[in-house]
Amino acid sequence: MFDLLVKRQSNLKNEILSGLTVALALVPEAVAFAFVAGVDPLVGLWAAFIMGFVTSIFGGRPGMISGATGAMAVVMTAFIILHGIEYMFAAVILCGIIQILCGILKLGKLVRLLPHPVTLGFVNGLAIVIGLAQFGQFKENHRLLYDRLTGNFQIAGDWISGIPLLTTLCLIVGTMLIIHYLPRFTKAVPGTLVAIMLMTAIVYFTPLESVTVQDFVDSQNQVAAEKTYKTKVFNEQKSELTLSELDAAGNALAAADMEIPPVESSRLAGRFQIPSIDWTPQSLMTILGLALTLAAVGLIESLMTLTLIDELTQTRGSSNRECVGQGAANIISGLFGAMGGCAMIGQSMINIRSGGRGRLSGICAAVFLLCFIIFPPLWQCIGLIPVPALVGVMFIVVIATFEWTSLRLWNKIPTSDFLVILLVSAMTVIFDLAIAVIAGVAVSSLVFAWKKSSRLNVDIIDNEDSRTYVLQGSFFFGAVSSFKNFFDPVNDPEHVVLEFQNCTVYDHSAVEAINAVAQSYRQQGKQLTIKHLKEECSQLIERADDVLELTVV
């Protein structure tokens, strides 16, 4: 198995070379996620630079890389279609404000409370998502198709075969072998950087043909522009079409060969400008939903990536500081016409594997990326990189990220924990990270409550004229039903004692259950006395004294 943590001293050379390696891997990712969101590639590239630069300086986890991410891009797509890109920029700014507030309120530390099965499921699910995303590079002849279920145009392609497929596989395998075996001979330079440069040289100086980064950007630009234009035309035609004519018109328009005018942007990415929206309460309500979703998705992915990097490097980052850093980066990103983002687990793994441990590696990655953006000769060099080499890099990340040991846990841990791992992994792939983590935490909490509720026990001690119920365990909402079944107000003696010396009362549901039992005894003309409540339990009852009728001694 591939070893993620290549032991390498943290020094200036390793930090700079690691930053260069990450920058090379960031380019196609940022471009691809920009197309997912339906915006210009420069919007994604500037987001990768701003997010990476600001979080590397002010974030709470040295060595972690942030940029434009697919998790946030997917959320933006429909919103941009409905409200336009300016409202998306405003939502990114509000998202940053929310994230900063989370850091100030110290909500970042809540990620430490996530159950370990949820973390394992997150890591495995994200590894699968990264891996599946790479198979999109095995397609060619991209074109538009009309999806009758959604009523929108989708980008489709044909699977490559024959010589192109063989060439692609050879480049991917060659990249992976270099990354795996080079550290055994030398650790002077990152194996990832050597692999990318060597594969680029092979494609450039030999007759081998492969899709390059420039080819990828050009083809995606063309099909994205076609999708934007035809979607606009189709929306104008819809009002004149009957429901039965929509599918035929959509299919015909998707296949139509028509001249696509260049896409005009209302602003330039990388230039400071307040988003052009009406800053009214109504506009704020429009962007609030997207901002909250982006903030939640961004923080969950960032903080869980931070936890993973902590474990891999055996160091500890600051989750609250990371919230503030992510928020500041998103605010600046929205003000400079970029799409925002969060931590990127794939690029963070590349950085760690290449020897990046400090803030300098992330800063260098962002600066190199900026140079690629603003200096055309450098962009031309980046454009020569074969996409299969970058796919090979990401496959290494997938193999190293996936927790293979979790596959052997099915009979070594509680069944419920293993099911949570599977649930979070599956939901990460099918839906998104935020939904998966929330579902995993909810299921884990319910399982915990169920198990705890079954551990409330009672011992009954009978005296001449009284009965004592000695409670043991934890008493909260999940144990209310069991608690009430312990008692027999009709047949019990005149004096009943509840002994709480070995029992802890946690919530109002438990207090109300005690009150209900006391009322049952009172209706039978019998006395119920509560003894030896712990201090915190007594305080809980004292606060609710106005609505309770209990005798506590």
Q: Assign 276 to helix, strand or coil.
A: coil
In this structure, are residues 317 and 64 in contact, taking their beta carbons and an 8 Å threshold?
yes
In this structure, are residues 428 and 128 in contact, taking their beta carbons and an 8 Å threshold?
yes
CATH number corresponding to 455-547: 3.30.750.24
Strands (E), 166-296: none
CA-based torsion, 184, 186, 191, 196: positive or negative: negative
Place of tokens 């896409």: 263
Which portions of the chain are predicted below pLDDT 50?
1-6, 546-548
Amino acid residing at 45? L
φ/ψ (deg, to 5) at 67: 180, -170
**425-440: b (≥16 Cβ within 10 Å) or e:** bbbbbeebbbbbbebb
Note the pLDDT tens digit of each residue in 223-243.
888 888 888 888 888 878 887
Report the pLDDT value the prediction gives residue 548, as an integer from 0 to 100: 46
Note the pLDDT tens digit of each residue in 373-420.
899 888 888 889 899 998 888 888 888 878 888 888 888 888 889 999
Report the pLDDT value the prediction gives residue 328, as an integer from 0 to 100: 97
Burial class (CB within 10 angstroms; exposed 0-12, middle 13-18, buried 19+) of 9: exposed
Report the pLDDT value the prediction gives residue 1, as an integer from 0 to 100: 42
**What pairing do the DSSP bridges indicate for beta strands 527-531 and 66-67?**
unpaired
Q: Assign 476 to helix, strand or coil.
A: coil
φ/ψ (deg, to 5) at 505: -95, 125
Report the pLDDT value the prediction gives residue 3, as an integer from 0 to 100: 47
Query: How is the chain split into domains, by residue range?
Result: 12-124+141-156+211-379, 455-547
Cβ neighbours, 10 Å, residue 102: 22
Q: What is the mean pLDDT of the chain?
A: 86
69: closest CA among 54, 48, 49?
48
| Cα(360)–Cα(339) distance, integer angstroms | 24
Sequence-separated contacts (24+) of 191-194 with Cβ below 8 Å: 191/6, 191/354, 192/21, 192/25, 192/350, 192/353, 192/354, 192/393, 192/396, 193/17, 193/20, 193/21, 193/24, 193/354
Report the pLDDT value the prediction gives residue 288, as an integer from 0 to 100: 93
**pTM for the whole structure:** 0.75
Report the pLDDT value the prediction gives residue 5, as an integer from 0 to 100: 47
In this structure, are residues 96 and 324 in contact, taking their beta carbons and an 8 Å threshold?
no
| Cα(307)–Cα(120) distance, integer angstroms | 11
Amino acid residing at 553? V
In this structure, are residues 386 and 212 in contact, taking their beta carbons and an 8 Å threshold?
yes
| Cα(134)–Cα(389) distance, integer angstroms | 11
